[in-house]
Structure 1
């Protein structure tokens, strides 16, 4: 790219209008110069370009980044997403990919593929001295009809039968997942930046966060909805997932519901609870949803059900040595006939050592003490009824 072209592209992007500070502008210009010098041809250059785009994306807001890369670097937002995905998701395979001279187009397909598919593609390249775009598509198609493997979305729309329909659905799913991962990652990065930059001892203010987080959440919800929804309504922001589309209360339903709340400022918690919500719910759910490992751990703790009053009482009695049934005292004086108070033994958990007379000056008679004390009388209800004289 000539100096004249570079100057022309630089003039097309107005840094001042978007309130980009001088330091960020200097860094963005350096990244633009590096991007324009690469040429985007070799495997190693594809990774370098992705790294530069990733660095530049951290200097501006997501919406602004797309405008910058398009106007300043003459790269479409879709192409930029592909290179960023290569740098972000395939960095561990960089040496092998460079050694095998895997083309950037093949890398684009592998950037959104699961690990086992990436390994299979690289193994194929090692065995056959390279891998072509058609071969990686066939590898990722998982048995899709061979006639549609090398066709694009426009051509797929003309293929009849179930094989054509399946191929279109597969293509829609792949592009939808890639879009969701990008949108969710942008939202997670924005939330993390908000939490890191919050002054200590200060509360987060909704007024400043709503213009930043609400549009990102809506974009992430829209891309996730396009993958999960059975039908594709024009405005999915206004609708909820039904139980037929995703079980209510399931983990992916929780992710969709969280994005729905984030995209509606009225559903945000109060300012005093906002930081906890973003830190302990929103960010963990976004990381779980975009994690590339198999079966990632669920980040939210399961709610603990409160014990009923009966369960609490039973657990307390069990701690005392078992459930003890205590019969209530009889109110019938006739039941006292032949019963000696001295023979009464209280339950073990009610018994206590009788204090010495000089240690306790109270007027309380212990349950297990039958010794008479001076000045104390048994209640009338507890005194034995004298036996009546026999008529004989």
Structure 2
């Protein structure tokens, strides 16, 4: 049985509604998400009672962002276990919800392994469900700590590249608390610079076709009091030409073993612009985003989204008439090319900042060493 509903949480507006939380009302455990498709018009929460509801939320982008998808995947397995559903079936459906973001499968497999190990050890499904939930909660906490460490490493790198502060940072898509267990990845670095009094301007790409920058990053920047300016994606070149960008900071959905970075479509053109204008292009992502099993950028599966996301504009509280639920901006029957991500080759990446440190220059060997250090730290 799938039950999915929404409720407005007015009482959370002042403190900020969390991106995800686990709750256990009398009728059974649920997973609660802030519906990111409704922002910035309203903060509405989406409540999922099973994995299929969570899969739908992930595919609709109500739940999005690589680290948060990993956390959501782990909680989704725990939810299936706690409610007595087929855990392996839930895991399969969750992993397939969005193919490019490797964190989703990492989170699912981690909770699934905890469940299977506990079940084999005790034979008790309830204890196994508790083990899956503990794994999800631990992953949630680890991501929050990783976010804080990435922010520190990223700010140190910015200060090294541009001593004295006054950083003017260009970012793409959304990389803040809305997609993380903490304060985010690239956005967390900019926020750390702001708190230290060293952020001069955050340039926010609108991020077509779904406006994650305009709707989500601007929303987060406004809430934190950061100095920010929104621009259309195709205005970035003029900013570079005018010398108004000191660094580009983005997140990542998957980093291949050779250092190729898959991120929200539009990232690769920024890398090309940054290289031409001698501006650092920095990727901020947790170590879990590095996928040693994906050898290079060509091996990364790129999710293709529906064409109506390009031929229509969807905005909260706007009357809709299009087939996809939006306002048509192209003639009926127009075909659209709509990859969700593009891939930036390692030679265009100045540095990859993780919770375990910074990799620069970006090479397969350096990434392998980073992952080895991370595994050793976990083992200890």
Q: TM-score, normalised by structure 1?
A: 0.25
Larger radius of gyration: 1
Where is the strand percentage greater, Structure 1 or Structure 2? 2
Higher RCO (C-alpha 8 Å, min separation 6): 2
